[in-house]
Amino acid sequence: MQSAEEKQAPQGWKRIGRAIMDAALVPVLAIFSAIIVGGVVIAVVGGNPFAAYLGLIQGAYGSTKAWSETFVWATPYIFAGLAVALAFKGGLFNIGAEGQLAFGAVATAWVGYALPGMLGVELPAILHIPLAIGAGMLAGFLWAAIPGALRAYAGGSEVINTIMMNYIALNITSFLLNGPMKDNNPLNVIARTPEIAEGARIPVIFDGLRVHWGFPLALIVAFLVWYLLWKTTFGFEIRTVGANPDAAKYAGINYKRVIVLTMALSGLLAGLAGAVEVTGLNYRHELGFSIGYGYDAIAIALLGRTHPLGVVLASILFAGMRNGATRMQFLTQIPVDIISVIQALILLFVAADAIVRYIYRIKAKEDRLVLTRGWGG
Amino acid sequence: MKKMYVMLVALLLAAMLIPACGPTAPDCSKVETFCVGVVTDVGKIDDKSFNQSAWEGVKLAEKDLGAIVQYIETTDAKDYDKNIATFADENYDVVVTVGFALGEATVAAAGKYPNTKFIGVDQFQGAVTPGLAGLNFPEDQAGFLVGALAAQMTTTDKIGGVFATDAVPPVWRFGEGYRAGAQYVNPDIEIFVVYHSDVGFDKTFTDPEWGAATSKSMIEKGADIIFGGGGKTGNGAVIGAVEAGALAIGVDTDQYFTLPEAQKGLLSSAMKLITPGVFDLIKLAKDGAFPDGNYFGKAGFAPYHDLDATVPAEVKAKMDEISAMLLDGSLLTNVAPVKP
Amino acid sequence: MDWRRFSFIGLIIVILFGVVVLIGGEQVSPLIIISSMLATTITVATPLTLGALSGIFCERAGVVNIGIEGMMLAAAFFGWLASIYMNTIFEFNAAISLTVGVVMAIVSGGIFALLHAWLSIAFKVDQIIGGTVINILAVGITGFLNRQLFFEKGSIFGGNVPHAPGLLPSLSKSLTFLCGGEQGCFGLPDLISGSVFDQKPVAISAIVLVAVSHYVLFNTRWGLRTRAVGEHPKAADTVGINVNRMRYINVVIGGMFAGLAGAYFTLESVPSFEPLMTNGRGFISLAAMIFGNWTPFGAWAAALVFGASQALQINLQFFRESIPPNWAFLQQSYVVGLAPYILTMLILTGIIGKTTPPAADGQPYEK
pLDDT of residue C82: 93
Say yes or no: B129 and B152 in one domain. Answer: no
pLDDT at residue A252 is higher than 80: yes
> Contact C336/C319 with Cβ under 8 angstroms?
no
Residue C255 within any structural domain of the chain: yes
* pLDDT, tens digit, 9 for 90 and up, residues B204-222: 777 888 888 889 888 888 8
What is the interface pTM, i.e. ipTM, of the complex? 0.84
Range of the domain at A117: 82-319
Closest chain A C-alpha to C33 CA, distance in angstroms: 27
A160/C124 CB distance under 8 A: no
pTM, to two decimals: 0.87
**Count of domains observed in chain A:** 1
List, for residues B232-250, the tens digit of each pLDDT value.
Answer: 889 899 988 998 889 999 9
pLDDT, average across residues A245-263: 90
Does A362 reside within a domain?
Answer: no
Check residue C160 and give its pLDDT: 56
Give the pLDDT score at C222: 93
CA–CA gap between residue A325 and residue A58 (Å, rounded):
10
User: Would A29 be classed as within a structural domain?
Assistant: no
Domain assignment present for A172: yes
In a domain, A26, yes or no: no
CA–CA gap between residue C350 and residue A154 (Å, rounded)? 7
CATH number of the domain within which C85 lies: 1.10.3470
Least confident of A140-149, A365-374, B182-191, C96-105: A365-374
Extract the runs of DSSP E, i.e. beta strands, from B150-297.
158-163, 190-195, 225-229, 247-252, 266-272, 293-296
Listed in sequence order, the residues at least 6 apart from B175 whose beta carbon sits closer than 8 Å to its beta carbon are B143, B161, B163, B166, B193, B195, B229
For CA atoms B141, B143, B146, B147, the dihedral sign is: negative
Q: Show which of residues 7-26 on chain C sit within 8 Å of chain B, judged by CB atoms.
A: none
In a domain, C52, yes or no: yes
Instruction: Return the partners of chain C (3 or more C-beta pairs < 8 Å).
Output: A, B
Could you tell me if B165 and B52 lie in one domain? no
Residue C167 counted as domain residue:
no
C107 located within any domain: yes
Partner-chain contact C127 A372, CB within 8 Å: yes
d(CA B70, CA B229): 28
Q: Is the pLDDT at A6 greater than 50, yes or no? A: no
B269 touching A (Cβ < 8 Å): no
The verdict on B70 and B208 lying in the same domain is: no
Residues 6+ apart with CB under 8 A from A322: A73, A339, B75, B76
Q: Does the pLDDT at position C297 exceed 50? A: yes
Is 50 exceeded by the pLDDT of residue C189? no
CB contact under 8 A, C28 and B222: yes
Residue C276 located in a structural domain: yes
In this structure, is residue A229 part of a structural domain?
yes
- Whether A296 is covered by a domain: the verdict is yes
Task: List the strands of the sheet with B299-301, edge to edge.
Answer: B190-195, B158-163, B225-229, B247-252, B266-272, B299-301
- Measured between alpha carbons, how far is B56 from C161 in angstroms, rounded to an integer? 13
Q: Do C28 and B208 touch (CB under 8 A)?
A: no
- How many whole angstroms separate alpha carbon C228 and alpha carbon C159? 52
Q: Which of B136, B162, B181 is the last residue of a domain?
A: B136
Residue C361 forms part of a structural domain? no
Q: Which of the listed residues B85, B116, B136 is the one where a domain comes to its end?
A: B136
pLDDT digits (tens, 9 = 90+) for C106-115: 999 999 999 9
User: For residue C357, is it within any domain?
Assistant: no
We report the CATH number of the domain holding residue B114 as 3.40.50.2300
Strand order in the sheet with B94-98: B68-72, B35-39, B94-98, B117-121, B132-136, B293-296
Domain count, chain B: 2
With a cut of 80, say whether residue A285 has pLDDT above it.
yes
In whole angstroms, what is the distance from residue A303 CA to residue A1 CA?
28
Task: Residue A156: list chain C partners with CB under 8 A.
Answer: 345, 348-350
Give the whole-angstrom CA distance, residue B53 versus residue B56.
5
B59 and B159 in a single domain? The answer is: no
* Residues spanned by the domain of B114: 30-136
Asked if residue B179 and residue B124 are part of one domain, the reply reads: no
Instruction: Tell me, yes or no, whether C27 lies in a domain.
Output: yes
Q: Please tell me whether residues B146 and B261 are part of one structural domain.
A: yes
User: Long-range contacts made by residues B30-33, C-beta under 8 angstroms, separation at least 24?
Assistant: B33/B68
Give the helix/strand (H/E) hosting B35.
Answer: strand B35-39
Q: Which residues from chain A sit within 8 angstroms of residue C361, using beta carbons?
A: 374-375
Q: How many CB atoms lie within 10 A of CB B14?
A: 9
Beta carbons of C270 and B260 less than 8 Å apart: no
Burial (CB count within 10 angstroms: exposed 0-12, middle 13-18, buried 19+), residue B68: middle
Q: How many CB pairs under 8 A join A and B?
A: 107
pLDDT tens profile A262-281: 999 999 999 999 999 999 99
Tell me the shortest Cα–Cα distance from A316 to chain C, in angstroms. 20
The whole-angstrom distance between B23's CA and the closest CA on chain C is 17
Q: How confident is the model at residue C46 (pLDDT cuts 50, 70, 90)?
A: very high
Pairing state of beta strands B247-252 and B225-229? parallel
Whether residue A112 lies inside any domain: the answer is yes
Report the distance separating Cα C347 and Cα B229, nearest Å. Answer: 36
Bridge partners of residue B301, in order along the sequence: B270
Q: Which residue of C has its CA nearest to B214?
A: C314
Structural domain including C333 reads 3-150+200-348
Q: Assess if residue A312 is contained within a domain.
A: yes
pLDDT band of residue A4 (cuts 50, 70, 90) is very low
**Sorting pLDDT into bands at 50, 70 and 90, what band is B161?**
very high
The answer for A 181-220 residues in CB contact with B (under 8 A) is: 186-187, 189-191, 210
Q: Is pLDDT larger for residue C75 or for residue C272?
A: C75
Is B25 contained in some domain?
no
> Is residue B159 located within the same domain as residue B132?
no
Rounded-to-integer distance, Cα B227 and Cα C174, Å: 27
Sign, CA torsion C131/C133/C135/C138: negative
Number of domains present in the structure of chain C: 1
Residues in a beta bridge with B134: B120, B294
pLDDT > 70: percent of chain A: 91
Q: How high is the mean pLDDT of chain A?
A: 87
Compare B203 and B290 and report the one with higher pLDDT: B290
Domain end call among B136, B162, B178: B136
* CA distances in angstroms from A116 to A193, A286, C343, listed in the order given: 15, 21, 38
Tell me, what's the pLDDT at C74? 97
Q: Which amino acid is at C80?
A: W
Closest CA to B141 of B308, B295, B279, B297: B297
